[in-house]
Amino acid sequence: MIVANFKKEENIVEYIIYMRQIQDILRANNFDISKIEELIISRYDVTETQKIEIRQWYSNLIIEMTNNNLEASGDIDEIKNLIDDLNLLNKKLLADPEEIKHKELLRWAEPNITVYRKISKAGEISDVEVCINAIQSLFLLRLKKEAISDETAQAMQTFSNILANLALEWHGGMQ
């Protein structure tokens, strides 16, 4: 909750990826709040009142995910809506005749988006979601300490550039 609130204020893309990681942690622990308490909440150096708030936040996420049949996969509505909003911002920037930077970033990323969409069997999701999925996959590879080719690193950088620009525009008030 504390990290999520900070990320939401500072970088909307990092918030989305963080919340996806939280959803995965909840799934990996079978939505058992006592396990979450032991693994995560107990480690916070905060007051007991704050720990109760954090526990309630995790409990609410568990309820939302189970009520919406997200036990195996998928995002809570807030995350889906934020991705949709970022996609709308992406389209807005691409439609703006004055906007050159974002168009150039997308031009560099498009071949990589196409390849990643095919490799990941992403189907008809937006380019923004493809980029978010790719960066999330990169984080997982790094956690597993798996080697990443130079070609993959360069492709991921193009995704990161697009997402960083969208986050900058988002927090700059264009959302």
pLDDT digits (tens, 9 = 90+) for 21-53: 999 999 999 999 999 999 999 999 999 999 999
| Confidence (pTM) | 0.92
**CB contact at 8 A, 78 and 64:** no
| Distance, CA of 3 to CA of 152 (rounded, Å) | 29
- Whether 175 has a pLDDT exceeding 50, the answer reads no
pLDDT digits (tens, 9 = 90+) for 63-94: 999 999 999 999 999 999 999 999 999 999 99
Residues 6+ apart with CB under 8 A from 120: 130, 133, 134, 137
In the prediction, which pLDDT does 5 show?
87
128-148 average pLDDT score: 94
Backbone φ, ψ for residue 123 (5° rounding) = 70, -135
